[in-house]
Amino acid sequence: MPAYRTRAERFDDLVLDAVERIERLWARQLVGTEFAVEDVPPSNPAPWEHGGVPLGRYFPSDAGLPARIVVYRRPVESRATDPLDLADLVRDVVVEQVAHLLGRSPDDVDPHYGDAH
């Protein structure tokens, strides 16, 4: 295992940690859901997005493709003030997108949603 990890690799690790935490609570409901990290969102916003750059997106399953949740690395990193804030923000983005998938509030998905260190 290399001693040095790139910023992108460390970000991927934060997303994996957040996903693992949520999957412990919602494993059955998330079966088949794919999670991914992309550097930036596509330039064409989704119809429901009004202004601002999205930090993540939920894509419902469609035509045999599984549901997919994407976290956008650069917009999330640009909003974080320090490494702890980045970890909290990544967790919150994952929770928000899972809440959208499940049709629940983020607080229902994770009781610690919005808690900062």
pLDDT per residue over 11-21, tens digit each? 999 999 999 99
The mean pLDDT of 78-102, rounded to a whole number, is 96
Which residues pair with residue 57 across a beta bridge? 70
Is pLDDT at 1 greater than 60 in this prediction? no
Reported as a single tens digit per residue, the pLDDT across 23-76 is 999 999 999 999 999 999 887 666 666 667 889 999 999 988 999 999 999 999
CB-CB contact of 56 with 71 (8 Å): yes
Q: What is the pLDDT of residue 116?
A: 67
Q: What is the pLDDT of residue 53?
A: 80
> What is the residue type of 13?
D
Please name each of the domains of the chain with its CATH number: 29-39+52-112 (3.30.2010.20)
Q: Please tell me the distance from the alpha carbon of residue 58 to that of residue 44, in angstroms, as a whole number.
A: 15
Strand stretches in the chain, DSSP E: 34-38, 56-59, 68-72
Q: What is the pLDDT of residue 4?
A: 79
